[in-house]
Amino acid sequence: MLDADLKSKINKLWDKFWSGGISNPLQAIEQMSYLLFMKRLEDEDVKRQQESQLTGEKYDSIFQDCPDCRWSEWTNYSADDILDHVRDTVFPFLRNLGGEESLYARYMKDAVFSIPTASLLIEAVKIINNMHIKEQNRDTKGDIYEYLLSELKTAGKNGQFRTPRHIIKMMVEMVDPKVGDVICDPACGTAGFLVNSYHHILRENTSPDFIKVDEEGNEYNFKGDKLDDKQWAFLKERTLYGHDFDQTMIRTSMMNLMMHGINDPQVDQVNTLSTRYNETNKYDVVLANPPFKGSIDKSDINENFTINTTKTEILFLELMYNMLVNGGRCAVIVPQGVLFGSTRAHKGIRKKLLEDCRLDAVVSMPSGVFKPYAGVSTAFLLFTKGESTKKVWFYDMEADGYSLDDKRTFIDGKGDIPDITGKFEARDVEEFEDRKAKCFFVPFEEIEENDYSLSISNYKEIEYEEIEYEPPEVIKGKIMELENKIIKGLQELNI
């Protein structure tokens, strides 16, 4: 998505972070985010000053009390002065900017500047300034941040990890968010689902003449030219919402959204499973890959939950049901155990998804999809709140376009994905009755008889190839003949 020169510079920066003592990729991304935020502040300030000159309205620069906090000022400081200035002057300035409820205060909450050397800071500044090279109509800033995030290759302590971009894109395409939908990810991590939802809506509202395709077959240059001013305002300000309990993830997701054009991200820090979260019947679309493990104190579990469990993967499913308005759609990744677990809680959540929702699809994914983070087998569910299920569409995904080992080598980047999205779209006009195929329908009554199991192995028919063997006496004769040849050969050797 980026030119080779810029990728090379970013890779060099990673090496410098590592040698400079910042070996955790998430910490490195966080420090880069602070710098990107500083650069963005001046860009926005300059833009508003120019607009005020055109309109004649008065605008006071946010840097009027601290002009040497401007990116363009301090980035020209010498190696002897730059590090101390950023740590002791620029950072405190950012924390106190705009009041307690401002975007700046939310972004800089608990922020710690930990770039250890002036040389590393100067290298990072060079990379960020390179974002303003010839962009060739690409969202270079967003692409650079996505490239940084691609370095997150280890799962967090609570089982959270970055969902592969092509998996997110597939799920978003199948949920198909529209202009006017209010979208939420209750465990947003790096905001991948929110960013892709934004791009999906833009793509659907961009004239074909504007859309371009890069060398890997990825579409870009989504202008949203079909949107009017009111729709643009809704999309930018009231469409995308994210929550996460990890402050570092909040900062990362806010920066990801800002780098993709969302100026005031609606992202906040909260444990959505706890008593401190009470949003119900609010969202049209929920998309998520919530943590598969982790713990929550029983006394802190939200009282709105009806299923008695402390398992987060089950609680998140009921949470998403509660968050949706009637008719709202959800796509969520779950561990395979949710599909067939035999506990009362497992059966209870599956029954709820089948009887209180229309469970549209269960797509089982191969275990290597989340490597090198984890080798756990997963699936994703798509459901619509407010009507009962008559039949469920199952798909047995075998390939995602990358090798399924720890290296995750690029093959074609697609695998079964085009087949999944195409056949899902055609599910209302095709029968999908062949249980030996990759996808098929299963009626609700059959699932109910199977303890509400959503494991595709319970319903898929495996076609065994019949092998015809020769009669025993023929096999015995061939063995005797072979033995005689061996004996004769040995006797000849002894002569």
The mean pLDDT value for 350-363 works out to 97
Question: Over 90: is that where the pLDDT of 186 sits?
Answer: yes
Q: What is the pLDDT of residue 155?
A: 45
469 with 371: CB under 8 angstroms? no
Strands 357-365 and 391-396: parallel
**Whole-number Å distance between alpha carbons of 313 and 339:** 11
pLDDT score for 106: 81
Same domain, 417 and 280: yes
DSSP code for 191: T
Q: Give me the mean pLDDT over the 194-198 stretch.
A: 96
CATH of the domain at 54: 1.20.1260.30
Residue 473 lies in a domain: no
- Whole-Å CA distances, 383 to 330, 346, 380: 5, 17, 10
Please give the pLDDT value at position 476: 84
Q: What is the pLDDT of residues 129-181, one digit of tens each?
A: 876 554 444 456 777 788 888 777 654 444 445 788 899 999 999 999 999 99
Both 78 and 134 in a single domain? yes
* Phi, psi at 410, each rounded to 5°: -65, 130
Q: Are residues 76 and 217 in the same domain?
A: no
| Residue 463 C-beta-side C-alpha neighbours within 13 Å | 6
193 within a domain of the structure (yes/no):
yes
pLDDT over 60 (residue 231): yes
**Do 143 and 158 share a domain, yes or no?**
no
Residues 316 and 447 in one domain: yes
**Choice between 282 and 33, residue whose per-residue pLDDT is larger:** 282
491 pLDDT more than 80: no
Q: Using alpha carbons, select from 387, 427, 129, 140 the residue that is nearest to residue 261.
A: 140
* pLDDT for residue 238 is more than 90: yes
Residues 485 and 495: their CA atoms lie apart, in Å, by 16
Tally of domains in the chain? 2
Instruction: Say yes or no: 366 and 222 in one domain.
Output: yes
pLDDT of residue 134: 41
Give me the long-range contacts of 307-311 (CB less than 8 A, separation at least 24): 307/345, 307/348, 307/349, 307/352, 308/344, 308/345, 309/343, 309/345, 311/345
137 and 160 part of one domain? no
Inter-residue contact 409 to 399 (CB < 8 Å):
no
Neighbours of 333 (CB within 10 A): 24
Same domain? 73 vs 194: no
Write down the pLDDT at residue 494. 65
d(CA 117, CA 335): 42
Q: Which runs of consecutive H residues, i.e. helices, occur in 205-295?
A: 229-237, 247-259
Name residue 286's beta-bridge partners.
Answer: 184, 330
Residue 469 forms part of a structural domain: no
pLDDT of residue 2: 67
Domain at 365, CATH number: 3.40.50.150
- Look at residues 94, 124, 148 and tell me which one is the last residue of a structural domain: 148
What does the block give as tokens for 416? 């079964």
